Structure 1
Amino acid sequence: MASSGPSGLRIKSPDLLVAESGVDRAGNGLQRSMGLFQLVCFGIGAIVGTGIFVGLSDTVAEAGPAVIVSFVLAALTCVFTAFSFAELGGAIPVSGSSYSYAYATLGERTAFLVGWCLLLEYGVSVSAVAVGWGQYLNELLGSLIGWELPAALARPPGDGGIVNAPAVVVILLAALLLVRGIRESARATAAMAVLKLAILALFCVIGFSAFQDGNLSPFAPESVAGITSGASVAFFSYIGFDAITTAGEEVRNPRRNIPIAIMICIGVVTVLYCLVAVAAIGALSSDQVADQPAALSLIVNRVTDSTLGGGVIAFGAVVAIASVVLAVMYGQTRILMSMSRDGLIPRIFERISPRTATPVANTWIVAGVFAIPAAVVPLDVVMNLTTIGTLAIMAVVNVSVLVLRRTRPGLPRRFRVPLFPLSPVLGIGFCGYLIYGTGPATWLQFVGFLVVGSLVYALYGRRHSRLGAAPREPVGSEAPDPTLTSDPTAPDPALTFGSRGA
């Protein structure tokens, strides 16, 4: 079940990870109620939000019209890593995502640090996304009723405000929906995902109607350095696709549906982002778009010479960003639940409500903790640290694929990384390249963050780890999970939207 050796190097087998998944120590379990369509919408819901609605202007400020190349570079990084997530998500379908993959390949200490970094990717990014929500909420209020929230209550300190109240509100609303149940959350996320895709498609139509070739020249005013820096910023727009793997214990037929959902999400989002970037720069020059807090609404207002179109875009952004908060908070709670189940963090995070089949206390703690930085920290500070933490995690996932192919070649895999081992090696290389683009200040912040994580593991995680304890029966039933052993040729009931789980 676990390899021998120093505590930090203990490895938890994929079989034990799957055997212990689904229930807490009190025997309360999660429900497999998400189908493929809902899972794809959940993935899109986790990705499309602040990065494109708010962060586009920051990417343009770095790369100019070459923002298109920056988005493609960021997409390549995600594609190679998405292959690795798809293979591991199908082989080890549990809620722990990259934390569990590291535990199964690189040992307990590395797994803890990956979980620690996931606080950046999921928890801190919730704060970053929520900050952007307030900007578009004001844009929407201005379009509808001609009134906006005062800057003191709509922006954090350092950005002209005192406290970002809308950011706190959207986090608390997401938590309220999450504790009601996964079926309700999945349906809400699906509806919001469809709506925001329609809004972005509308933006592309409006932007291309005013396309001017001259706006693309000079194409790369900051040369390669600007494109690289822009790619690091653009990468934030793709963060969230791996949240699909955190639903591994609540998805029907996860070995099949998780890889398919990841590939669909990356393909749809990459095409959409490139179209939005081209439409934006074609409609207005990069100088006019750069550093604008609600760039898409601004572009539509200029093109249509009215505030109505911008109001529609602002409405789409409000919905889109809210759905990201919902999906990413979901992912964070499931990561913490897996770490708690392993004893590396307090037990309260693994407790599942027998009434709603959700980790209620876990959800409210996450909401409370990450509402604080959302209220008082400027967006750009949070974005850079989130980006480097996510890139580090993705590099580890690519390494995990290489290791698991060597240590467990016979493990069932419904999806295999193409061009192995070139694909994960390229994934590692692209992650390193974008980490370089985040800059020395962000590197130092990240090193400090890892040092604190190492201390937390040494003082708490290592001492409370359950892996080194006496052998025990796996949590839950010994009967095989039919959703993990089903006939791969059987019809997939997950294609029915909103259908009930088995």
Structure 2
Amino acid sequence: MDMRVKPLDAILATARRKSLHRSLGPIQLTLLGLGAIIGTGIFVLTAAAAQKAGPGMMWSFVIAGSVCAVAALCYAELAAMLPVSGSAYTYTYAVLGELLAWMVGWALILEYAVSASAVSVGWSGYFMGLLKSWTGLELPHALAAGPAWTLDGWMPHADFAAGVVNVPAIVVALGVTWLLVIGTTESARVNAALVAVKVAALTMFIVVTVPGIHGEHFAPFTPNGWFGPAGTTGMGVFGAASSIFFAYVGFDAVSTAAEETRNPQRNVPIGLIGTLAMCTVFYLLVAAGAIGATGAQPVTGAGGLPLQPGSAEFIAQCAALARSGSTPLVCSNEALAYALRAINHSVLGDIMGFAANLALPSVILMMMFGQTRIFFVMARDGLLPDGLAAVHPRWKTPHRMTIITGLFVAAGAAMLPVGQLVDISNAGTLFAFLLVAVSVMVLRLRDPHRARPFRTPAVFVVGPLAVFGCVFLYFSLPWLNRLVLPIWGAAGLVIYFAYGFRRSHIARGSVEVHELDRDAPPQPLPPV
């Protein structure tokens, strides 16, 4: 293991120079978490999860939330100890060393940038649905969706019959990039208003759909089983859980607020578990409403096997069903709006689509901001060229890395379906969370007497559970998406040993701890 570590005492000394006021209680923490979590995942993933698990996706929400709970408790200890920029990257650098820190930072690109691409595609689906409902206009299919991807031998193959390029997704991704470059940011009031829009829209959905649930739509409850039928990958209840994990990302907004919390040892666990429990109940009600209103049985192909969402066969089957006038929920690009329209609430469906169109661009902005923050810290540590961290003389933003990130996000959104993007994103997130759990346990053994504002309860039970949960969900992903992480990691290792290994500040004998970091608590995962 690489033992080039940032001295923990130096980082902690920086953290102690200015302490944040402890003012948050358990209720405020829970509300913070609810605002951070509820959003994109439930708007975008309902259809893909239903295709993987059918009505059994309700169990998938519980499983994903449970894994997040143990991971969050591990995250909270390091967040309270190291309230500085960089999130999981900084924590790993201080405990496990530079090489693994680089790998975490590299994996976080899959978490932040690919997540932003997924949200862009999700926004595109709601935008196109709303445009059609309001005006009757539709973009040509070739310009409204990217191609479907399969493996031809060992090489990815694009099937352009499914689509060529997702133009609306490109437009929203580049629009957000432009806003970040010129320095336009959201105020707390605007962000709070958008959170209220999301929560109000989903509450409306529950109120309208749950009372009219049809019990027969829940049978069979697990049509694809728990692990998916033989001959499929990433399907079943556990496969859906690995995708639905995306709907909970943002939970560590609670853990990163530990330094601002009264009695963190008591209130942080209450906030974390309370947030995840309330979100899980909320998600279960939304899922029950969608299933009960329209049904959620998977689309099957030859031999009765369920088709992978986003695959060429799945898209072709959905198109055939649409021509016959019987489009199921699993084929919709705007699942919640579709469910409302299917039960003759067209106006409410439009309101749901409008709420998604309002709220989702702000999520893209926060994800891309998080990505540029990670790049900025890595460049400042010498692991990336200093030129990437250059600040624009007029707009005072890291414009170069913002533009690079925006182009990366737009390319992913243009060419990949939302399900594949979500699964790729989750692979990077699970890797980062796994190393955070390992870091907590290693630091407990290496330095057990160090002051900890929050201590993970039963750390040698919770930590291994977090590691197991992350590994289990990773191997529940479709194997093609699992393959992305090691390939991406190998490319990262080439870059690290070609540049960062020799050029990092620690390699050159310089340890820099930045006072400005103290003004920015660890960058939380963006709300989705």
Partner of 2:117: 127
Deviation at 1:362, TM superposition (A): 3.0
Q: 1:152 aligns with which of 142, 155, 159?
A: 142
User: Aligned match of 1:99 in 39, 64, 89?
Assistant: 89
Aligned to 2:398: 359
Larger displacement relative to structure 2 (332-341 or 381-390): 381-390
1:31-110 → structure 2 map (5 Å cutoff): 47-110=37-100
Give, as a single letter, the amino acid of the residue that structure 2 aligns with 1:162: V
Once the two structures are overlaid, the 10-residue window that deviates more, 428-437 or 159-168, is 159-168
Q: Any conservation in 1 of the 2:34–2:279 contact (CA below 8 Å)?
A: yes
Change in CA separation of 1:254 and 1:307 when aligned onto 2, cut-off 3 Å: same
Separation in structure 2 between the aligned mates of residue 39 and residue 140 of structure 1, nearest angstrom: 34
Matched with 1:137 is 127
Compared with structure 1, are the counterparts of its residues 359 and 267 closer, same or farther at alpha carbon in structure 2 (3 Å cutoff)?
farther
1:17 matches 2:11: yes
Q: Aligned ranges for residues 48-447 of structure 1 at < 5 Å?
A: 48-158=38-148, 160-179=162-181, 184-225=186-227, 226-242=236-252, 265-287=275-297, 288-303=328-343, 305-351=344-390, 358-447=397-486
TM-score (norm 1): 0.82
- What is the match of residue 27 of structure 1? none
Question: For 2:132, what is the secondary structure of its paired residue?
Answer: helix
SS of the counterpart of 1:215?
helix
Deviation, 1:311, is 0.4
Q: Is the 8 A contact 1:123 1:332 kept in 2?
A: yes
Distance 1:429 1:470, change over 3 A: closer
Count residues in correspondence. Answer: 467
Deviates more, 1:125-134 or 1:287-296: 287-296
AA aligned to 1:362 is M
> Aligned equivalents of 1:466 and 1:430: distance in 2?
35
- One-letter amino acid matched to 1:300: L
Question: CA 1:138 to 1:69, structure 2 compared with 1: closer, same or farther past 3 Å?
Answer: same
The RMSD of aligned alpha carbons is: 3.6
Q: In 2, Cα distance between the equivalents of 1:151 and 1:376? A: 13
Q: Quote the Cα distance in structure 2 between the aligned partners of 1:70 and 1:474.
A: 42
Which region of structure 1 is more displaced relative to structure 2, 368-377 or 154-163? 154-163
Q: 1:465 aligns with which of 497, 501, 504?
A: 504
- Deviation (angstroms), 1:151: 2.7
Q: 1:259 to 1:364 in 2, by over 3 A?
A: farther
Residue identity matched to 2:83: P
Q: Distance in 2 between matches of 1:188 and 1:219?
A: 40
Q: CA deviation at 1:218?
A: 1.8
TM-superposed CA distance for 1:18, in Å, is 5.1
Question: CA distance change for structure 1 residues 138 and 343 in 2, over 3 Å: closer, same or farther?
Answer: same
Residue type at the aligned position of 1:438: L
CA distance in 1, matches of 2:184, 2:63: 34
Say if 1:482 and 1:389 are closer, same or farther in 2 by CA, change over 3 A.
closer
Q: Give the residue type in structure 1 aligned to 2:442.
A: V
Deviations, residues 94-149 of structure 1 (Å, cap 9, x unaligned) = 22111111111111101101111101011111111111111100111223333233
Task: Deviation per CA, 1:177-205: give whole Å up to 9, x if none.
Answer: 44566863544332211210110111111
Unmatched runs of 5 consecutive residues or more in structure 1: 1-5, 23-31, 485-502
Please say if residues 77 and 427 of structure 1, whose CA atoms lie closer than 8 Å, have aligned partners that are also in contact. yes
Deviation at 1:326, TM superposition (A): 1.7
Question: Which piece of structure 1 moves more, 349-358 or 362-371?
Answer: 349-358
- Residue aligning to 1:487: none
1:498 aligned residue: none
Structure 1 residue 40: Cα displacement = 7.7
**Is contact 2:181–2:402 with CA below 8 Å preserved after alignment?**
yes
Q: Which amino acid aligns with 1:409?
A: P
**Percent identity of equivalent pairs:** 38
Residue 388 of structure 1 and its aligned partner are, at CA, apart by 1.6
Using the alignment, how far apart are the partners of 1:278 and 1:168 within structure 2?
A: 33
Paired AA for residue 241 in structure 1: F
1-side partners of 2:416 and 2:80: how far apart? 37
Q: Distance in 2 between matches of 1:94 and 1:233?
A: 30
Q: Is the Cα contact below 8 Å between 2:72 and 2:255 reproduced in 1? A: no
Quick check: 79-88 or 315-324, which moved more? 315-324
Alpha-carbon distance in structure 2 between the residues aligned to 1:96 and 1:374: 25
Instruction: Between 466-475 and 347-356, report the one with greater CA deviation.
Output: 347-356
Shift in CA distance, 191/83, structure 1 to aligned 2, threshold 3 Å = same
C-alpha distance in 2, partners of 1:179/1:413? 38
SS in 2 for 1:184: coil
Post-superposition Cα deviations, 1:453-488, rounded to whole Å, max 9, x if no partner, equal 1111111111111113235664448xx96999xxxx
- Alignment partner, residue 308 of structure 2: none
Q: 1:57 touches 1:293 (CA, 8 Å); kept in 2?
A: yes
How does the TM-score come out when normalised to structure 2?
A: 0.79
Indicate the SS of the match to 2:213: coil
How far, CA to CA, are the matches of 1:169 and 1:40 in structure 2?
Answer: 34
Q: Is the 8 A contact 1:182 1:358 kept in 2?
A: no
Residue pair 1:41, 1:189 contacting (<8 A) in 2 also: no
CA distance in 1, matches of 2:393, 2:13: 20
